[in-house]
């Protein structure tokens, strides 16, 4: 009997139910609710991000650069989620601001944005926008920005770093330079396509026509070709253009001058030795020309055999030109190379 009863007890013990501890039910319920909440929050972020990207793509399909006010700036740039980079030009294009540099920079910015919009690599990872001072004053105040134009990159995650602000004063605002900066910050390479500009071709054709016509009219007397003074003037013009920084201006595309938006003061000389304004190169060209003119007069006074009194006047005028304008040139050099100890007449 005892042997037959043992399996019965084993079967009864095998049918006995197992219960979880009573305190585990609230924990499981809390864990389930937490998972549901996290899943819902993630889904909400994904939907919000999809709506933002869809809206930006719609704007980009209309215009390669869309304008933003304070509300749009906070919604699409400052507020997460965001998985795209945004290039923003802070500017002041209204006529009452009288910002000629802003208009020039806007033209280059438009060329760059169009090159990206109509390229085969266009995607929803990079957008171009603009904030005008008169439409987004609160944005300028929020960013403590007191000058325009300014280009900034807002990355998909985190805050902009120092390198995310384009060094316009040193590099200039040419579309090619902006594209290189964007490639460094976003790994998006933009090939700049400029609209055809036939002004250079037309100017060259007119020059060739003018020279050809002059040679034809003077075909019986071409002695002027051997005129040393004429070739010397042409050579000096080329030297003045190259030594004043015209080639640098052509490559970098700097602004003509800089106007302070607060006090309206216009600066024609850049305060750094790493950059210059177009007006600055014109000033340097005129100073070099004046110094050269003074040297020519000094040479004329020393080598000519005319009246002594006339030669003395020519010598004094030439010396005055050299001394004054060289002093002016040296003062500009001192203002750009801070710490340079020497000056002459003008500080």
Three-state SS sequence of 219-259: CCCCHHHHCHHHHHHHHHHHHHHHHCCHHHHHHHCCCCCEE
Ranges 73-77, 128-132, 155-159, 333-337: which has the least confidence: 333-337
- Asked if 45 and 81 count as a contact pair (C-beta separation under 8 A), the reply is yes
**Omega into 81 within 30° of 0, i.e. cis?**
yes
Residue 14 DSSP class:
H
Q: What element of type H or E holds 280?
A: helix 278-303
Tokens in use for 18?
A: 């197992």
Q: Can you give the pTM of this predicted structure?
A: 0.57
Q: What element of type H or E holds 150?
A: strand 150-154
pLDDT(253) > 60: yes
pLDDT at position 39, please? 53
pLDDT at position 229, please? 83
């Amino acid at each position: 009997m005892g042997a037959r009863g043992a399996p019965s007890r084993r079967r009864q013990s095998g049918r006995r139910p197992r219960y979880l501890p009573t305190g585990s039910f609230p924990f499981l319920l809390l864990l389930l609710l937490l998972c549901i909440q996290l899943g819902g929050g993630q889904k909400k972020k994904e939907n919000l991000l999809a709506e933002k990207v869809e809206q930006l793509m719609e704007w980009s399909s209309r215009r390669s650069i869309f304008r933003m006010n304070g509300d749009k700036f906070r919604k699409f740039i400052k507020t997460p989620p965001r998985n795209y980079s945004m290039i923003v030009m802070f500017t002041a294009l209204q006529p009452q601001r009288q910002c000629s540099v802003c208009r020039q920079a806007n033209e280059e910015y438009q060329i760059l944005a169009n090159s990206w919009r109509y390229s085969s690599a266009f995607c929803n990872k990079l957008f171009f926008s603009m904030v005008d001072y008169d439409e987004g004053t609160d944005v300028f105040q929020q960013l403590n920005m007191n000058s325009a134009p300014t280009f900034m990159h807002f990355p998909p995650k985190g805050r902009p770093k120092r390198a995310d602000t384009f060094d316009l004063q040193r590099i200039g605002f040419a579309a090619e330079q902006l594209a290189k900066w964007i490639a460094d910050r976003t790994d998006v390479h933009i090939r700049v396509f400029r609209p055809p500009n036939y002004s250079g071709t037309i100017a060259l054709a007119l020059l060739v026509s003018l020279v050809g016509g002059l040679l034809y009219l003077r075909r019986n007397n071409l002695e002027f070709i051997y005129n040393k003074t004429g070739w010397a003037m042409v050579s000096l013009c080329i030297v003045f253009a190259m030594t004043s920084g015209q080639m640098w201006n052509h490559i970098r595309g700097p602004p003509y001058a800089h106007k302070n938006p607060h006090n309206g003061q216009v600066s024609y000389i850049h305060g750094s030795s790493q950059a210059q304004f177009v007006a600055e190169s014109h000033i340097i060209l005129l100073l070099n020309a004046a110094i050269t003119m003074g040297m020519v007069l000094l040479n004329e006074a020393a080598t000519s055999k005319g009246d002594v009194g006339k030669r003395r006047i020519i010598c004094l005028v030439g010396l005055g030109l050299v001394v004054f304008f060289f002093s002016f040139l040296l003062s500009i050099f001192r203002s750009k190379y801070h710490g340079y100890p020497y000056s002459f007449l003008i500080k």
